[in-house]
């Protein structure tokens, strides 16, 4: 992964996007210590990395819907 300072990433943003489109990750550093604060990744890679979490039940439970699960509109709104 190539890392660029924020100013350089802003200046050469089109080139950064071309590199990401080619499938590479690009880090963005910021501040005097030049700590990496962000990583620009291809969208398809990001989609694979993100999964829906169950909020407060994160890593404590799971939800599985049966293939024949159905709910009417009345049941949904509580009539």
Structural domain spans, the chain? 2-69
Mean pLDDT, residues 59-68: 79
| Fold designation for 2-69 | YefM-like fold (3.40.1620)
User: What are the tens digits of pLDDT across the range 9-52?
Assistant: 999 999 999 999 999 999 999 999 999 999 999 998 888 776 66
The 10 Å CB-count burial string (b at 16+, else e) for 20-58 is: beeeeebbbbeeeeeeeeeebbeeeeeeeeeeeeeeeee
pLDDT of residue 52: 65
Lowest model confidence (mean pLDDT) among 10-14, 19-23, 58-62, 64-68: 58-62
pLDDT of residue 4: 94
pTM confidence score: 0.58
């Amino acid at each position: 992964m190539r890392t660029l300072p924020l100013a350089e990433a802003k200046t050469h943003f089109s080139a950064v996007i071309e590199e990401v489109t080619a499938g590479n990750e690009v880090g963005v550093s910021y501040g005097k210590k030049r700590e990496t604060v962000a990583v620009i990744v291809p969208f398809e890679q990001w989609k694979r990395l993100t999964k829906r979490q169950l909020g407060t039940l994160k890593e404590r439970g799971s939800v599985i819907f049966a293939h024949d699960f159905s709910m009417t509109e009345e049941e949904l709104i509580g009539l």
